[in-house]
Structure formats: structure tokens, C-alpha cells
Amino acid sequence: MQPFIYSAHPARVIFGSGTLARLPAEVERLGLERVLVLSTPQQEAEAGALAGRIGTRAAGVFAGATMHTPVGVTEAAMRHVAAERIDGLVAVGGGSTTGLAKAIALRTDLPQIVAPTTYAGSEMTPILGETQGGVKTTQKSPRVLPEVVIYDVDLTLSLPPHLSAVSGMNAIAHAVEALYAQDRNPIIAMMAAEGIRALARALPRIVETPHDAEARSDALYGAWLCGTCLGAVGMALHHKLCHTLGGAFDLPHAETHTAVLPHATAYNAPAAPEAMGAIAEALGAAEAAPGLYDLAARLGAPLALRDLGMPESGIEAAADSAMKNPYWNPRPLDRTALRDLIARAYAGEPPRA
């Protein structure tokens, strides 16, 4: 066996059905007295109900979270934190809300309790991506790690099938890149394969029967594993490219990951045959990249970046941007091949190595 280094991040994970009922006890366990509940505008009612459940230890709701974590939104939230003397954060929602909680924690080191309602997985990572002036920058810091993550399967039962599909594909992307990461290790490889397997099994069932509690449980379990992979090892071309596209063209996060993933996987396939074999086996497919494309198509997920609002003129600009600030990838970056990758993802064509 090859030598490896495995670093585990401290986290308290509560998983099951009805586990959100434990939130008040977790707030009390952390000694918090003035908790701010965070959400998107669309989930403000749920956030208000959650504040009511917390009781006198809740100091209000900030329902301004939005995708790509704009710095301006974080600054507005920070003013609220200061004015209300907030000593802890509760985030309910997907990656947008978790991202806002992390951005506040980075600046204040306030403790966080996160209750995910999607399969984004960012709650398990020390990674924060923030957007300012159309540019998304990413950094790692242990300060942004939540102290407690409450996975309640019941919170995902109302997630629409379309959002479930793209959120699940986004989670799968974390595990795919973990399998060929520069600092990959056997522990994360096992978790990545199991995460892909669980999501590939669950997502088609969720699309067909959205209230299938067993499928929802499998998907949330897979998302937790994939998120743990994202937090434990480095990522490569796929995540870099999605951050570039999302920040530059304000594209929806999970949908962008869904459209790009088969093509980034195909690009790296010649340089990572062992990882490709593990991905294909977990998907139950003959090949990794076509298997990911076929899964997305089966789920009715978007396959073309043009359908997400990316202009055709952005292909060249995205290729140039992705070539900047060199980063590790199993296959060296070639601008011509990278431009072709983006063009196929733009058009929604099948992936090609």
C-alpha cells in the first residue's frame, strides 16, 4: 500500500429522521444565548419557525443568503451580528445558507450549527467561496467548520425532484475529484466510492417517487460522505472550472456542477485510470464519464451550460480564466483541450476524452 496522510476534521454529526428536534439541546450544549438563524429569502418562514423552536436563545432571523456568497450580503449580516450581540449561528438550507454562516464565522469565529436541506455537502468542509465584482475566490480555514451538523432526512422530503437531482450530482462531483486528488488516501477513497454508490442508487428513485423516505435517507447519507471527501482532500479541474463559470456568469451552482462534471471527468480519464474504474463501478456503468452523463440525463438534469444562462462568447473567456493561477490536476492543463471541454459542456454534448 502507498504511504498516505489522513487528517480528520472535528465535527459532531447527528443523522436520522426527526433529528432537528435536538436543535435546542445542541444550542444549550454549546452555551449559546443569542443565536442568529440564517436562511435564504425563500426559506424565511422555515427559519422563523426554527427560531421559535429555539425559544429565548434565538435573537432573530437573517434571511438574505444567496448563491456564491456575495461579500455585500455577508457585510449586511455582519452588521446584524454586531447590533444584536450574536454569539452563535444556526443555518438551515443548502449551500448558499451554509456559505453565509461560514463567511460570518471566518470573520468572527462564532460557533455554527448547520441543518442542511439539500445534498450540497459544504457543511462538512473548511472551504469557503466568496464572490465580489464577478470573481469568486476560494479559501480554506478551520474557522469556517461548523461545530454541529444536524442531518434530518425529514428536511429533504420536500426538496423538489429537479433540485434533488442537481444537488445530488453536485455531491457526486466532490467524491469523483477526491478519487484522483493529489492528496488522496484509502480512507477517503472508500468514502468517495460509497458516497457515489449511495447517490447513484437513490437519485433516480427520488425523481420517480419524491417522498420515498428510504431513498432520501440514502441520498443524505451519500451527500454526507461526499461532503466529507471535499473537506478532507484537495480538488482539481472540475471545481476550479465550476467556480470560474459560476462567478463570471452568475450561473446556478449545482446545475453548473451537473453540466460540467462528465466533461471534466473525461478530460482527466487518461491520467487517472484507477479512479475512473472506481467511479464506473460505483455508478454501475461501463465507463466513468459517460456513466455520469447518462445518470444526469436519466434524472432530467440540465446538460448544457447555455441552458443555464452562459453566453457562447463566454467559452473563450472561461478557458482563459481557468488557465490562470496554476493548480494541481492529474492531467496537465492544455488550453485547446480545455476550450473544447467547455464548448461541449456549453452545448450539452456527450463527454469525449
* Cell matching residue 37: 438563524
Looking at the fold, whether 131 and 254 belong to one and the same domain comes out as no
Looking at the fold, whether 149 and 166 belong to one and the same domain comes out as no
- Decide which of 156, 178, 201 is a domain's last residue: 156
The rounded distance, in Å, linking the Cα atoms of 201 and 221 is 12
Looking at the fold, whether 314 and 195 belong to one and the same domain comes out as yes
Looking at the fold, whether 190 and 276 belong to one and the same domain comes out as yes
What's the per-residue H, E or C state across 222-284?
A: HHHHHHHHHHHCCCCHHHHHHHHHHHHHCCCHHHHHHHHHHHHHHHHHHHCHHHHHHHHHHHC
Q: What is the 3-state composition of the chain as percent helix, strand, coil, each rounded to the nearest 5?
A: 60, 10, 30
> What DSSP string runs through 148-215?
EEEEEGGGGTTS-HHHHHHHHHHHHHHHHHHHT-TT--HHHHHHHHHHHHHHHHHHHHHHH-TT-HHH
Q: Is the pTM of this model over 0.75?
A: yes
Which residues on adjacent β-strands are paired with residue 129?
138
pLDDT per residue, tens digit, the chain (353 aa), is: 678 887 778 789 999 999 999 999 999 999 999 999 999 999 999 999 999 999 999 999 999 999 889 999 999 999 999 999 999 999 999 999 999 999 999 999 999 999 999 998 989 999 898 999 878 888 889 999 999 999 999 999 999 999 999 999 999 999 999 999 999 999 999 999 999 999 999 999 999 999 999 999 999 999 999 999 998 999 999 999 998 898 889 899 999 999 999 999 999 999 999 999 999 999 999 999 999 999 999 999 999 999 999 999 999 999 999 898 778 999 999 999 999 999 999 999 999 97
Classify residue 21: in a domain, yes or no: yes
Looking at the fold, whether 312 and 222 belong to one and the same domain comes out as yes
- Decide which of 116, 141, 156 is a domain's last residue: 156
CB atoms closer than 10 angstroms to residue 6: 11
**CATH number of the domain to which 188 belongs:** 1.20.1090.10
Classify residue 1: in a domain, yes or no: no
DSSP class of 36? E
The rounded distance, in Å, linking the Cα atoms of 307 and 296 is 14
Looking at the fold, whether 151 and 165 belong to one and the same domain comes out as no
Q: What is the pLDDT of residue 47?
A: 95
Looking at the fold, whether 131 and 171 belong to one and the same domain comes out as no
**How far apart, in Å, are the Cα atoms of 324 and each of 68, 91, 318, 319, 321?**
20, 34, 10, 9, 5
Task: Name the residue range of residue 114's domain.
Answer: 12-156
Contact call for residues 215 and 252 (beta carbons, < 8 A): no
* Cell matching residue 312: 457562447
The count of structural domains within the chain is 2
- Decide which of 134, 156, 178 is a domain's last residue: 156
Looking at the fold, whether 151 and 182 belong to one and the same domain comes out as no
Looking at the fold, whether 173 and 122 belong to one and the same domain comes out as no
Classify residue 196: in a domain, yes or no: yes
Of 226, 263, 265, 249, nearest to 311 (Cα)?
249
Which residues on adjacent β-strands are paired with residue 127?
140
Classify residue 6: in a domain, yes or no: no
> Residue 164 corresponds to which amino acid?
S
Classify residue 42: in a domain, yes or no: yes
Classify residue 195: in a domain, yes or no: yes
**Chain position carrying cell 458516497:** 195
User: Phi/psi at 57 (nearest 5 deg)?
Assistant: -80, -10
For the chain, first and last CA: distance in Å? 29
The rounded distance, in Å, linking the Cα atoms of 272 and 280 is 12
Looking at the fold, whether 114 and 226 belong to one and the same domain comes out as no
Contact call for residues 119 and 167 (beta carbons, < 8 A): yes
Classify residue 352: in a domain, yes or no: no
**CATH number of the domain to which 28 belongs:** 3.40.50.1970
Of 230, 103, 210, nearest to 165 (Cα)?
210
* Cell matching residue 180: 484522483
Q: What is the pLDDT of residue 1?
A: 65
Looking at the fold, whether 107 and 247 belong to one and the same domain comes out as no
* Cell matching residue 208: 420517480
**Chain position carrying cell 433540485:** 163
Q: What is the pLDDT of residue 309?
A: 96
User: Phi/psi at 59 (nearest 5 deg)?
Assistant: -110, 15
Of 173, 135, 160, 146, nearest to 216 (Cα)?
160
Looking at the fold, whether 304 and 201 belong to one and the same domain comes out as yes
* Cell matching residue 340: 473544447
The rounded distance, in Å, linking the Cα atoms of 146 and 34 is 17
